[in-house]
Amino acid sequence: MVRTINPATGEVLRDFEVRGGDWLEKSVAASTLAYALWSRQELEGRLRAVEKFEAVLKGEREALARLMTLEMGKPIKQSLSEVDKCLLSSKILRENYPIWLREREYAVATGHSVHCVPLGPILGIMPWNFPLWQVVRFAIPTLLGGNTILLKHAPNTWGSAEKIEEIFSAAFPSGVFVNLPIEVALVEKLIADPRVRGVSLTGSTRAGRSVGELCGLHLKKCVLELGGSDAYVVLEDADVELAAQVCAEARLVNGGQSCVAAKRFIVHQKIVGEFTEKMVARMGQKTMGDPMKMETDIGPLARLDLRDGLADQVNRSLARGARKRLGAETPSGPGFFYPPSVLAAVLPGQPAFDDELFGPVAAVIEASSDREAIQLANQSKYGLGGAIFSRDFERAKALAMGEMEAGMVFINDFVKSDALVPFGGIKDSGLGRELGREGSFEFINPKLIYVRSTVSSES
């Protein structure tokens, strides 16, 4: 049995039966059978199914948003925005997929041609922090390509996963999208199953290593979108007011519970004092409380163990020389809340520098030059996203292109996903891409066809 908990109150929401055995076998068989038909569906038919999905999702907007907030604690206004982003992104992917497909499928005069064909059932292992968005950005291009989906969602959002399956099932043929309420232990069995032809995981680096190892053992294609400790570099010529505004917003995205949220703020020593003061002011203005209220900016962390782990990282950083400028204390009372917090004097060797802080805690780090700032930014096992703030756009762009070790770098703005461009990282932040043209064809076989143009015939 899996029990979902309301992180704002600690109250039990629902108990779920954990499936496996014959039920799991039937589910994989259904996905495989559906693939045989779905993969032969013309692209126009797949596009119509995605458009129907959007219509069904729009009708379930409020109900699904409320369920996500109940299960993982994000403010309801952010849950509604998540649904809206999924609706817009699905439309963008649907409209652009045929264009990208034409660019990928081509013929040359030598008799060679390349055709994009699907792989088969694809296992999606999805996290709790964006219960719908993580699924949609993986599933829509994968389904447009002719694959089918097996979804293994995070246990604390199984209600959302069940609802998501209902929405997809209302738009797609039976078996094309199957939700799997199974234990983590069965993932290894699924990856080993020859009918499952690929895996997309969004999760921790530890989970990525495990899944990547299994995919390598069984020669399965995988996309791994893992953790991050994104560095935001603020140069001495930056607009400090803008930088503080954007950095505070970037740190508090989803209550700080995002792999691509800003986490380390590396600021030139000439402006670090001013920046820190403005950052404290910005972070301190946010309202923490009941996530069901529209005025709430910060809800609880998703689970008690996550809140306790974050508090431990902060306390160990303080013990090793970091200075508390805001928050950094676990509140009393019900729910798994942790306040917006700012730590100054953060250095390598402290958890606030070395590790991923998955919550609303900003780590301010001082640098004496551009070179030292980039060195500190790169002094991380992660390489997901990053940002550079400067009035000199060419200077910032040069540092972003040639120096900063990340899959994505934004100039004077915070890192965000967009359906039109690829999303992903390097180093311990994973491999492969989601979204954009690059991500849309991760689970596609670019099959080469050669036709010899001269064939003799006997009379």
> pLDDT, tens digit, for every residue of 178-221?
999 999 999 999 999 999 999 999 999 999 999 999 999 999 99
Q: How far apart are CA 133 and CA 271, in angstroms?
A: 37
> pLDDT, tens digit, for every residue of 213-259?
999 999 999 999 999 999 999 999 999 999 999 999 999 999 999 99
Q: CA gyration radius for the chain?
A: 23
Q: How far apart are CA 403 and CA 399, in angstroms?
A: 5
From residue 261, give the alpha-carbon distance in Å to each of 131, 205, 264, 360, 442: 16, 16, 10, 9, 24
- What's the average model confidence in pLDDT over 357-361? 98
Q: How far apart are CA 243 and CA 237, in angstroms?
A: 11
Does the pLDDT of residue 120 top 70, yes or no?
Answer: yes
Q: How far apart are CA 347 and CA 177, in angstroms?
A: 46
Query: What's the pLDDT score for residue 456?
Result: 66
CB 251 within 8 A of CB 276: no
Q: What are phi and psi of 85, to 5 degrees?
A: -65, -40
Q: How far apart are CA 372 and CA 174, in angstroms?
A: 56
Does the pLDDT of residue 459 top 50, yes or no?
Answer: no
β-strand partners of 366:
267
Query: What's the pLDDT score for residue 109?
Result: 85
Q: What is the mean pLDDT of the chain?
A: 97
Give the dihedral sign, CA 209/210/216/220. negative
Query: What's the pLDDT score for residue 458?
Result: 60
Q: How far apart are CA 310 and CA 362, in angstroms?
A: 12
Question: Helix, strand or coil for residue 150?
Answer: strand
- Residues annotated as part of the active site: 225, 259
Q: At what angle do helices 43-59 and 158-169 cross, to 10 degrees?
A: 130
User: Which residue matches tokens 């143009």?
Assistant: 453
CATH of domain 2-226+429-448: 3.40.605.10
Give the dihedral sign, CA 211/213/219/224. positive
Residue 5 makes CB contacts below 8 A (sequence gap 6+) with 11, 12, 13, 156, 303
Q: What are phi and psi of 364, to 5 degrees?
A: -95, 125
Q: Which of 43, 34, 23 is nearest to 122 (CA)?
A: 34
State in words which class domain 230-411 has.
alpha beta
Domain locations in the chain as residue ranges = 2-226+429-448, 230-411
Domains 2-226+429-448 and 230-411 share a fold: no
Strands 112-118 and 106-107, by their bridges, are: antiparallel
pTM for this prediction: 0.96
